[in-house]
Structure 1
Amino acid sequence: MLLVGGLALLKAIDDGWTAWDAFQATRTLADPQASVEEQRAAAANLALTAALEAAEPDDLLPVGLPRDDLVRLGLVGSVRDAGDGIKNIARIDPWKVRFSQDSISYHFKDKALGTIDDLAEKLRSGKINPTDVPPIRITEIDGKLFTLDNRRLEAFRRAGIEIPFRWATPEELAREQWKFTTINEGSTIIVRGQP
């Protein structure tokens, strides 16, 4: 009797684990706030769930072992970690992010980007894909989001397009602490050299 109860428990754990992971992956795919990385991992999780559950021979037995779940988690972790260009990058409404500086130059240091208005126009017209622009780095201070990359933020605001972002590292924040010169909590910024 104890053996039958143990086998039933293993089967319930196996089926429950799979159902819970599928439910969470579906929620992630439906979440508009989920990052590209999270959505790709969720899609991989659902695809692997279907494939591994279909191929699992122990479904015919009264006991289930979570081998497929362990393999799936390992593969999803690989998808999640793949590609430095995707990891920890998401998009945000540029009006939800504040400026760290009180003023910026109208011209980018990278001459290929030109001016703030040049980049904004290329974004609006589709000549530049937002994902081709390096993500801005943001941090949260007292519940407010601030960027270390003020010119790009201004260009995306002018273009009216969501901006790619990632969280700034502690090293970046320490190295660029000098940028926090805003005198109005980052709500506006002065653009120097603008015609």
Structure 2
Amino acid sequence: MMSVRPRNVRFTRDTIKSHFQNNHEASVNQTISKVVDGSILIEDFPIIEVIKIGNELYSLDNRRLYMYRVLEFKQFLEKMQIKIISKKKLRDWKFRTRNDGKSIEVKNGETLEHAHAPPIHVGKKKKRRRARNRARDYR
């Protein structure tokens, strides 16, 4: 395990769902507010698993990375714990990003400031194929 700034880890997808898988009541953005007001501790969240491709780190836990990125952007968090895992855990369908993972969009919800990159716009599929093929090249 190691400690890194959230902005130094990239996303593996263009979009995330607005709610965590195990908690359909609170959205990711509501969870961020609860962390800020102290009703949820950041230590209660599992460590983010990442893979290293070249010199870049890519998250397999995009909703949590988004949460950490927003908290860093709000100057509430400086670093997060990560665990680097084998590239074999990355599936082609999981690696679909058109801006090399610099930012992400929340589906069915508001996307909060979390990156110093221009926002992506979900659309054409041609670029997805290129990103998916690039992921295969790094296995």
User: Shorter-chain TM-score: what band?
Assistant: 0.5 to 0.7
TM-score, normalization: structure 1? 0.49
CA distance in 2, matches of 1:115, 1:179: 21
Q: What's the counterpart of residue 84 of structure 2?
A: 167
CA distance in 2, matches of 1:180, 1:93: 21
1:108–1:115 Cα contact (<8 Å) kept: yes
Structure 1 unaligned spans of 5+: 1-88
Percent identical: 30
Matched, 1:144 2:59: no
Indicate the SS of the match to 1:114. Answer: strand
Q: Trace 1:89-104 onto structure 2 (pairs within 5 A).
A: 89-104=1-16
Q: Tell me by how many angstroms 1:193 deviates.
A: 0.6
Structure whose residues are more often strand by fraction: 2
Q: 2:93 aligns with which of 173, 178, 188?
A: 178
Change (3 A) 1:131 1:191: same
Change (3 A) 1:140 1:171: closer
Q: Tell me by how many angstroms 1:185 deviates.
A: 0.4
Higher alpha-carbon Rg? 1
RMSD across aligned positions (CA): 1.9
1:134–1:164 Cα contact (<8 Å) kept: no
Q: Trace 1:71-150 onto structure 2 (pairs within 5 A).
A: 89-111=1-23, 114-150=26-62
Structure 2 unaligned spans of 5+: 111-139
Q: Tell me by how many angstroms 1:153 deviates.
A: 0.5
The total of aligned residue pairs comes to 105
Paired amino acid for 2:82:
F
TM-score, normalization: structure 2? 0.67
Which structure exhibits the higher relative contact order, with contacts defined as CA atoms closer than 8 Å and separated by 6 or more residues? 2
Structure whose residues are more often helix by fraction: 1
Q: What's the counterpart of residue 108 of structure 2?
A: 193
1:107–1:116 Cα contact (<8 Å) kept: yes
